[in-house]
Amino acid sequence: MPRSIITLTTDFGLSDHFVATMKGVIRSISPLADIIDITHDLRPFEITQASFLLSQAYPYFPKKTVHVAVVDPGVGTARRPILVEAAGQYFIGPDNGIFGMIFSREKKHKVRAITAEQYFLQPLSRTFHGRDVFAPAAAHLTRGVPPSKFGKLIKDYLKPMSEKPIQTGRRIWTGTILHVDRFGNLITNFHKDDFPTLQLRPFELAIGAVTIRRLALTYSECESNEPVLIIGSSGYAEVAVNQGSAAQLLGCGVGAPVELTIY
């Protein structure tokens, strides 16, 4: 029998006991759960990055996977824990926008406020809901507790700001950098499904002090030190430099503006 999977996405790092403690809690409640780390290396409080990385990974996980995401500057305050059902999978975390990109990809999603305190660890700390709320809720879910037992459906959860580019002229859109990956590639919010002509027509992408006019198919086909555009594995257009860091070369990071003109 396949074992349930719980994934973890946090800003806890791996040099403290936090992540391991959550894993201990999960396995104490659900001895057959397998736990897979998405990342714990988010900069503290970077909710948008968490949302992006999770949105890239979840489509590749099996049905019924439970994704726990804890980037939670408001821990201990009134923000609610939520349980999201989308794409046949589950998402558990604080109601602070961390599942924004899931909501925008999966139009059919259901959100519940988790209020059933019998699934929390007691006494409930005010500063470590990853351990006391989110991990145990996920563990109980993998043991077959139905979502409805955790709390009522809600409509007033935090909705995402659109992460899509804005049209600012007849052929011009202003976008942004969603993520900088380890290799220094700058992932824009121009998705190939939203901009199908990007792969067919001449274009100009202005970022930092440069304008890119070339679309490459692989990292290795561009000159060294030449920034090019690539439709990345995520479907988003990304600015890349062969065996170098586009982020460093262009001095750009998350949130930097990008202007695309398609002719």
- Among 95, 106, 132, 163, contact with a second copy (rule: CB under 8 A): 132
Residues ≥6 apart with Cβ < 8 Å to 167: 173
**What 8-state DSSP symbol labels residue 130?**
I
- Among 71, 232, 246, 256, contact with a second copy (rule: CB under 8 A): 232
- The count of other CB atoms within 10 Å of the CB of residue 225 is 10
Q: How far is the CB of 262 from a second copy (least distance, A)?
A: 21
| Residue 175 bridge partners (DSSP) | 258
Q: How far apart are CA 236 and CA 191, in angstroms?
A: 4
What are the φ and ψ backbone dihedral angles of 132, each rounded to 5 degrees?
Answer: -95, -20
Q: Decide whether 6 or 114 has the Cβ nearer to a second copy.
A: 6
Residues ≥6 apart with Cβ < 8 Å to 155: 111
The count of chain residues that interact with a second copy, using the rule CB under 8 A, is: 66
Q: How far apart are CA 113 and CA 153, in angstroms?
A: 7
Q: Does 122 bind a second copy (CB under 8 A)?
A: no
- The count of other CB atoms within 10 Å of the CB of residue 211 is 13
Q: 236 is written with which tokens? A: 């988003």
Q: How far apart are CA 184 and CA 84, in angstroms?
A: 32
- Stretch near a second copy under the rule CB under 8 A, chosen from 23-31, 111-119, 206-214, 252-260: 23-31
Q: Decide whether 134 or 173 has the Cβ nearer to a second copy.
A: 134
Q: Does 24 bind a second copy (CB under 8 A)?
A: yes
Q: Decide whether 24 or 251 has the Cβ nearer to a second copy.
A: 24
- Among 170, 193, 209, 220, contact with a second copy (rule: CB under 8 A): 220
Q: Does 34 bind a second copy (CB under 8 A)?
A: yes
Cα-to-chain-centroid distance, residue 12? 16
Q: How far is the CB of 193 from a second copy (least distance, A)?
A: 13
- Among 39, 104, 174, 261, contact with a second copy (rule: CB under 8 A): 39
Q: Does 239 bind a second copy (CB under 8 A)?
A: no
**What are the helix (H) ranges across 143-254?**
246-250
Q: How far is the CB of 72 from a second copy (least distance, A)?
A: 10
- The count of other CB atoms within 10 Å of the CB of residue 75 is 18
Binders of a second copy among residues 45 to 64 (CB under 8 A) are 45, 53-54, 56-62
Q: Decide whether 28 or 197 has the Cβ nearer to a second copy.
A: 28
What are the φ and ψ backbone dihedral angles of 47, each rounded to 5 degrees?
Answer: -65, -40
Q: Does 118 bind a second copy (CB under 8 A)?
A: no
Q: Decide whether 57 or 206 has the Cβ nearer to a second copy.
A: 57
Q: Does 2 bind a second copy (CB under 8 A)?
A: yes
Q: How far apart are CA 190 and CA 173, in angstroms?
A: 9
Residues in contact with a second copy by CB under 8 A are 2-3, 5, 7, 11-18, 20-21, 23-25, 27-28, 31-32, 34-42, 44-45, 53-54, 56-62, 65, 73-77, 125-128, 131-132, 179, 181-183, 217-221, 230, 232-233, 243
